[in-house]
């Protein structure tokens, strides 16, 4: 066991082209297979996510990308394969337990609490950091109040960071799509996650909104050192912001490497552009 | 002003008070419906069960005495002590919390992600089970409940308003019990609203009501939330059980007050706590005033039995989401 940890320490990451230091392996997926009845959504996939990197998962529709994220996040439990978190094998956990371990996520089809204000939505992201018990909260004792205030400060900083001060009190159901995406990112950030999972953060956005979102993702990674795994369709964006890319097609991994490596990979080109069948 | 006018005012006030009692029951429905999308048919029976348990504790009844006697041929019925009202209420509350755990563990846990109609059917089953279980545990005789809430007309109010309407008017008659119920309801609702707005768990409750998956992803355990919600609903049922039990005795018909909560929910909307209160008041006032102004003089009376349902029907046709419910807009 100690030897394995030593080996991992020795394998202490790499430096990116723009000079960011990438650390050791945070999460490792080993031979993951996920089936729904007879349908195989993920076939024997292995890859790792390193500390501080932006790891993209790309692939055509139905390739199993979202399923992969759901496996990491605990919504799905793979039939085969193991997940290692910080070198330790992760047992089968519920999504809320995985959230408690420091994994936050956003969803492809925004999953905000629509009736609640922006502020309240982002406050829910702090739940894993709030420890007062029910009785304290009911009687509104000092500990509960102090905790509420302290967490509120964190949330206000995130609101500043994402430049959404103007919509703090607006019920999120009334916000335009691009802003909802941003609030959802805020809620995930509020958890101060060690690993941030983003499921198509830029889907359905216009160019300007995409640029904003890319900037926020890069800033989060840069300022807080958050490890990010994201799914994205827009190849341009992926090539710009990702450090390493996993390419999936029909539930299988067909490529893994830096954006330029992946772009040169024949299997990837075939999957995206199609191959002539004789 | 004529005495007739003051009679009208009195009817109005009594309507408000009756409305408070309806609201207390409706509140329990709204809490559970908001957090889990379940229409809890058992809410009325929960009130009955809470009241039975409270009386049982107060009088030192031995639970399942009939059953034990039947099996072992013993002659048990009472422990022989009387519990103070406050202690009995606390003990009953603990029982209701235990009940919430059991419901979650035996029923809800296994029905996650099922259709609402299936959950509804489950609560019907639960209602009838609890009814029988309550009988078995505490006996089926009609019991008197007294936790020290004053009852009968409020003399102070009567004496100080008697001068208003001349010789034929003897002052407003309001039952003390109803006044206590109204005050309790105000505290209960403001407490619940504050709790759901300003605490972590309150936000978690609202989050679960909105989106289960998102709630899970931020680290909320659905099962914990459900236990909390059912416990709070149990607490509200206890309050309703105390008020109704004090008013009309603890008996089986208590569970039927749940039916009166239905039109209240139609008016107030299934998802709004203030809506449950205002809906209750509207129904209470509406049925009393309708009886006073139209029912008794022109329709031969007894309109209170159906007025609330007619009103609910009109609302269903013209404003299905209720007064305060969230309007459902499907984007196409």
Write out pLDDT tens, residues B167-190: 666 778 888 888 888 898 889 888
- Mean of all residue pLDDT scores within chain B: 86
Chain A residue with minimum CA distance to B202? A137
| Whether A130 and A175 share a structural domain | yes
pLDDT of residue A1: 44
Distance from CA of A179 to the nearest CA of B (A): 17
B53 pLDDT tier (thresholds 50, 70, 90): very high
pLDDT of residue B325: 65
Distance from CA of A14 to the nearest CA of B (A): 31
Q: Which of B202, B230, B204, B213 is nearest to B119 (CA)?
A: B230
Whether ipTM tops 0.90, in short, is no
Partner residue opposite A120 with nearest CB, options B195, B203, B228:
B203
Domain edge (last residue) among A152, A169, A191: A191
pLDDT of residue B260: 81
Q: Which domain holds residue A268?
A: 1-102+193-278
Q: Is the pLDDT of residue B329 over 70?
A: no
What's the rounded mean pLDDT across residues A127-146? 81
What's the rounded mean pLDDT across residues A104-123? 91
Chain A residue with minimum CA distance to B205? A124
For residue A128, which residues of chain B lie inside 8 Å, CB to CB? 218-219
Q: Are the C-beta atoms of residues B174 and B20 closer than 8 Å to each other?
A: no
| Whether A231 and A251 share a structural domain | yes
Split into its structural domains, chain A has a count of 2
Interface contact B216-A95, CB threshold 8 A: yes
Residue A109: inside a domain: no
Residue A108: inside a domain: no
Interface contact A116-B219, CB threshold 8 A: no
Distance from CA of B206 to the nearest CA of A (A): 8
pLDDT of residue B102: 94
Interface contact B200-A107, CB threshold 8 A: no
Q: Is the pLDDT of residue A46 over 90?
A: yes
Q: How far is CA B275 from the centre of its chain?
A: 14
Provide the CB-side half-sphere exposure for A53 (13 A, CA): 27
Domain edge (last residue) among A191, A226, A258: A191
Domain edge (last residue) among A191, A206, A241: A191
Least confident of A103-107, A254-258, B161-165: B161-165
What's the rounded mean pLDDT across residues B243-261? 83
Interface contact A124-B204, CB threshold 8 A: yes
Q: Determine which of B35, B195, B203, B217 to mutate to test the interface with A (most A C-beta atoms within 10 Å).
A: B217
pLDDT of residue A268: 85
Q: What whole-number percentage of chain B has pLDDT above 70?
A: 96
Residue A39: inside a domain: yes
Interface contact A73-B326, CB threshold 8 A: no
Q: Is the pLDDT of residue B129 over 90?
A: yes
| Whether A177 and A242 share a structural domain | no
Q: Is the pLDDT of residue A161 over 80?
A: yes
> What's the burial of A153, exposed, middle or buried (CB within 10 Å: 0-12/13-18/19+)?
exposed
Q: Is the pLDDT of residue B264 over 80?
A: yes
| Whether A201 and A257 share a structural domain | yes
Q: Are the C-beta atoms of residues B91 and B57 closer than 8 Å to each other?
A: yes
| Whether A177 and A197 share a structural domain | no
Interface contact A127-B210, CB threshold 8 A: no
pLDDT of residue A10: 46
Interface contact B221-A113, CB threshold 8 A: no
Q: What are phi and psi of A168, to 5 degrees?
A: -55, -40
Residue A107: inside a domain: no
For residue B213, which residues of chain A lie inside 8 Å, CB to CB? 75, 107, 111
B110 pLDDT tier (thresholds 50, 70, 90): confident
Task: Give residue limits of the domains in chain B.
Answer: 3-318
**SS3 category, B76:** coil
Chain A residue with minimum CA distance to B327? A115
Q: Is the pLDDT of residue B266 over 90?
A: no
What's the rounded mean pLDDT across residues B277-303? 88
Partner residue opposite B217 with nearest CB, options A105, A115, A138:
A105
The H or E element that residue A189 is part of is helix A177-190
Q: DSSP secondary-structure letter at B147?
A: S
Interface contact B218-A120, CB threshold 8 A: no
Sheet holding A25-36, edge to edge: A39-50, A25-36, A80-85, A88-89
């Amino acid at each position: 066991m100690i030897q394995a940890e030593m080996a991992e320490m020795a394998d202490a990451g790499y430096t990116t082209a723009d000079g960011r230091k990438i650390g050791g392996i945070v999460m490792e997926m080993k031979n993951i297979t996920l089936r729904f009845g007879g349908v195989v959504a993920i076939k024997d996939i292995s890859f790792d996510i390193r500390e501080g990197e932006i790891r993209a998962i790309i692939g055509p529709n139905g390739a199993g990308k979202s399923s992969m994220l759901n496996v990491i996040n605990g919504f799905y439990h793979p039939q085969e394969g193991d997940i290692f978190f910080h070198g330790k094998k992760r047992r089968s956990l519920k999504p809320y337990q995985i959230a408690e371990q420091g994994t936050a996520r956003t969803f492809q089809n925004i999953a905000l609490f629509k009736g609640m204000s922006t502020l309240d939505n982002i406050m829910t992201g702090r739940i894993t950091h709030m420890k007062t018990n029910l009785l304290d909260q009911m009687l509104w004792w000092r500990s509960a109040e102090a905790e509420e205030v302290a967490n509120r400060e964190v949330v206000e900083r995130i609101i500043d960071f994402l430049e959404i001060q103007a919509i703090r009190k607006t019920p999120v159901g009334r916000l335009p799509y691009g802003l909802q995406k941003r609030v959802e990112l805020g809620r995930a950030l509020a958890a101060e996650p060690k690993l941030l999972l983003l499921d198509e953060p830029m889907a359905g956005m216009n160019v300007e909104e995409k640029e904003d979102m890319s900037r926020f993702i890069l800033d989060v990674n840069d300022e807080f050192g958050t490890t990010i795994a994201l799914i994205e369709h827009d190849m341009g964006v992926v090539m710009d912001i990702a450090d390493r890319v996993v390419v999936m097609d029909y539930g299988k991994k067909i490529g893994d490497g830096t954006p330029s490596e992946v772009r040169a990979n024949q299997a990837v080109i075939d999957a995206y552009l199609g191959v002539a069948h004789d | 002003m004529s005495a007739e006018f003051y009679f009208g005012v009195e009817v109005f006030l009594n309507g408000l008070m009756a409305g408070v009692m309806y609201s207390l029951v409706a509140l329990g429905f709204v809490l559970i419906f908001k957090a889990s999308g379940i229409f809890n048919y058992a809410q009325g029976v929960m009130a009955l069960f809470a009241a039975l348990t409270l009386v049982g504790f107060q009088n030192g009844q031995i639970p399942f005495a009939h059953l034990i006697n039947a099996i072992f041929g013993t002659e048990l019925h009472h422990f022989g002590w009387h519990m103070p009202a406050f202690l009995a209420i606390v003990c009953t509350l603990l029982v209701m919390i235990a009940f919430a755990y059991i419901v979650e563990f035996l029923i809800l846990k296994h029905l996650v992600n099922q259709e609402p109609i299936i959950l509804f059917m489950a609560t019907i089953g639960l209602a009838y089970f609890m009814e029988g279980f309550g009988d078995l545990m505490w006996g089926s005789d009609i019991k008197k409940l007294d936790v020290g809430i004053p009852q009968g007309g409020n003399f102070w109010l009567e004496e100080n308003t008697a001068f208003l309407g001349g010789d034929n008017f003897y002052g407003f008659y309001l039952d003390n019990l109803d006044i206590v119920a109204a005050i309790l309801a105000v505290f209960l609702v403001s407490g619940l609203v504050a709790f759901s707005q300003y605490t972590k768990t309150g936000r978690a409750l609202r989050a679960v009501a909105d989106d289960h998956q998102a709630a899970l992803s931020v680290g909320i355990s659905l099962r914990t939330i459900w236990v909390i919600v059912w416990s709070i609903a149990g607490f509200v049922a206890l309050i309703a059980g105390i008020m109704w039990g004090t008013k009309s005795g603890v008996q089986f018909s208590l569970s039927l007050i749940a039916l009166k909560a239905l039109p209240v929910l139609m008016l107030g909307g299934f998802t709004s706590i203030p809506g449950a209160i205002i809906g209750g008041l509207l129904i209470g006032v509406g049925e009393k005033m309708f009886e006073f102004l139209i029912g008794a003089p022109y329709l031969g009376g007894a309109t209170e039995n159906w007025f609330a349902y007619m009103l609910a029907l009109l609302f269903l046709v013209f404003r299905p989401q209720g007064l305060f419910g969230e309007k459902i807009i499907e984007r196409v």
